[in-house]
A = this chain, B = another copy of it.
């Protein structure tokens, strides 16, 4: 039997994984990896950390864990894969089943036949035609070349001011990197929040944290014009007319699928421009598979195709494609549940499943949300506050989504929630779930379980929640409910919302009911630092005949607006 010819276009995450998986399943296949860039299997998610000086050894981005460069020699020897770098595939001849490649340096062309082809051409950064965008000093953080450029700037310490255009994942990670390297940084975001996988309130807590690190964050604003002198960037003019001086601008307004080659070859693409694949990662041509940031995959939440350019998914998709090109369509990729996480200075922010915004976009109405602010572990073990939002279906009480931000262990929270979404677990399932507890790792009742408890209290009608956003809107509309802050005088001295709240410590509430509005139907909104005492206050007031009592969910810790102190 003649050996199978596998060609893989693109040697970053999905492509390298697909080629390696194919090799493991067929020692005698002829596997060729064609990569336009000079490097292979780059740890591209690590670029910002190298730029920011979290580590200094550039090789760590390009080597195996034992220090071997993942270069063509490594692919040849360890994987028996022929890797052609700095080589671009110009055309795919689907009829003849071959690809025409050109060396980007020498211009030499060669033709490679395939039995099965895998396209993993990745994504490319969006670069809108803003005047001045070609000025020297404007870059992305998408390639090793970009990384080297930015790292050089950070090392050289000549450039003082940078603007990041876009407050998404790459934008905030780049913001942290440049700030850690000592630059003055402004983030400009066209939407009304950073990190659009979060709801506005949680995203705003992240923005507050970023600003606490001396970074300026400007939302609902865009770049009208890049200003330059002698071909070099000197500033940006924003949509609202503001001019920010800067010598460096990083464009981070998202990426789009790099699917031109596939489209030119006549392969079907979807509404986000990604290559259309079935569950086997197979394109509209049965002999061509695709994986990674160039494809669209199903959302497990909506069933609709989405563009989800994430490094973990790229690897998993590549693994599926690599197996199917060898063994026929035998394994499937189920899609994404929209799980993501990022680190931003001392905070992390993550999400899985649906945010409120995503649920609204899907037209869902039968869901309930709850915000929980509470520590990740006991105070004596160095607790950090987490703020989470859980979203459940009111139809069957299934967990639809979970977001979490804060300085604590967000990663465990999101992993736990992602499993709950995958396992189609209900609030009832989570109420008494047996999670790992020891003081070094969690509270006796883990933050995630506590979120389920609060949700249960809401669903059972024991707690009437109101979000900080709704409270803010009430006040903007001129309403002034009776705000009851249930903390101690000492806590109140240290930190205050300043929304006309009345301080009645929970321990004094039962004996000070006469201070409350005489009208038992008056709206009373209770809170405390995290609104556990706020909830207790609600229960006390309800029991004493107050009919319109609410708890401001998450209390002061989830308040995304300025405080009096």
A352-380: which have CB < 8 Å to B?
352, 375, 378-380
A294-323: which have CB < 8 Å to B?
300, 310-316, 319-320
Residues of B within 8 A of A65 (CB): 375, 379, 383
Q: Is A437 part of the contact surface with B, judged by Cβ < 8 Å?
A: yes
Asked whether A28 and B543 contact (CB < 8 A) given A339-B436, A343-B438, A432-B333, the answer is yes
A68, A338, A381, A442 pick with most chain B CB within 10 angstroms: A381
A532-561: which have CB < 8 Å to B?
533, 535-536, 539-540, 543-544
Which partner residue on chain B sits nearest A530 by CB separation?
Answer: B65
Which partner residue on chain B sits nearest A78 by CB separation?
Answer: B507
A312, A316, A446, A543 pick with most chain B CB within 10 angstroms: A312
A336 to B77, CA, bound (A): 49
Q: Is the CB of A440 within 8 A of B27?
A: no
A334 to B488, CA, bound (A): 37
Kindly supply a per-residue 1/0 record for chain A positions 377-400, scoring 1 wherever the CB is within 8 Å of any chain B CB and 0 otherwise: 011110100000000000000000
Q: Is the CB of A423 within 8 A of B434?
A: no
A412 to B417, CA, bound (A): 11
Q: Is the CB of B543 within 8 A of A432?
A: no
Which partner residue on chain B sits nearest A24 by CB separation?
Answer: B539
A46, A316, A415 pick with most chain B CB within 10 angstroms: A415
Q: Is the CB of B539 within 8 A of A439?
A: no
- The minimal Cβ–Cβ distance linking A551 to chain B, given in whole angstroms, is 12
Q: Is the CB of A445 within 8 A of B336?
A: no
Stretch at the interface among A50-58, A127-135, A145-153, A231-239: A50-58
Q: Is A261 part of the contact surface with B, judged by Cβ < 8 Å?
A: no
Q: Is the CB of A46 within 8 A of B316?
A: no
Residues of B within 8 A of A45 (CB): 437-439, 444
Q: Is the CB of B422 within 8 A of A334?
A: no
Q: Is the CB of B311 within 8 A of A437?
A: yes
Which partner residue on chain B sits nearest A308 by CB separation?
Answer: B434
Residues of B within 8 A of A535 (CB): 24
Which partner residue on chain B sits nearest A320 by CB separation?
Answer: B432
Residues of B within 8 A of A540 (CB): 27
Question: Which bucket holds chain A's interface residue count?
Answer: 35 or more
A477-534: which have CB < 8 Å to B?
487-488, 491, 506-508, 510, 529, 533
Q: Is the CB of B66 within 8 A of A437?
A: no
A333 to B449, CA, bound (A): 14
Q: Is the CB of A49 within 8 A of B381?
A: yes
- The minimal Cβ–Cβ distance linking A376 to chain B, given in whole angstroms, is 10
Residues of B within 8 A of A340 (CB): 436-438
Asked whether A380 and B339 contact (CB < 8 A) given A411-B441, A435-B415, the answer is no
Residues of B within 8 A of A488 (CB): 66, 68
- The minimal Cβ–Cβ distance linking A56 to chain B, given in whole angstroms, is 10
Q: Is the CB of B380 within 8 A of A440?
A: no
Which partner residue on chain B sits nearest A47 by CB separation?
Answer: B439
- The minimal Cβ–Cβ distance linking A516 to chain B, given in whole angstroms, is 15
Q: Is the CB of B311 within 8 A of A444?
A: yes
A350 to B350, CA, bound (A): 24
Residues of B within 8 A of A422 (CB): 423, 425, 429, 433-434
Which partner residue on chain B sits nearest A343 by CB separation?
Answer: B440
A414 to B437, CA, bound (A): 10
A543 to B3, CA, bound (A): 13
Q: Is the CB of B312 within 8 A of A435?
A: yes
Residues of B within 8 A of A420 (CB): 419, 423
Residues of B within 8 A of A6 (CB): none
Kindly supply a per-residue 1/0 record for chain A positions 38-80, scoring 1 wherever the CB is within 8 Å of any chain B CB and 0 otherwise: 0000010110011000110100110001101000001001111
Q: Is the CB of A66 within 8 A of B419?
A: no
A339 to B437, CA, bound (A): 8
Residues of B within 8 A of A341 (CB): 436-438, 441
Q: Is the CB of B60 within 8 A of A379?
A: yes
Which partner residue on chain B sits nearest A404 by CB separation?
Answer: B436
- The minimal Cβ–Cβ distance linking A407 to chain B, given in whole angstroms, is 13
Known contacts A27-B539, A411-B442; 5 further A-B pairs (Cβ under 8 A): A300-B434, A331-B431, A411-B441, A419-B419, A422-B425
Closest 5 CB pairs of A and B: A423-B423, A27-B543, A419-B419, A77-B507, A312-B437
Task: Report 11 cross-chain contacts, Cβ distance below 8 Å, ordered by A residue.
Answer: A24-B535, A24-B539, A49-B380, A49-B440, A311-B444, A312-B437, A312-B446, A319-B453, A422-B423, A422-B434, A423-B423
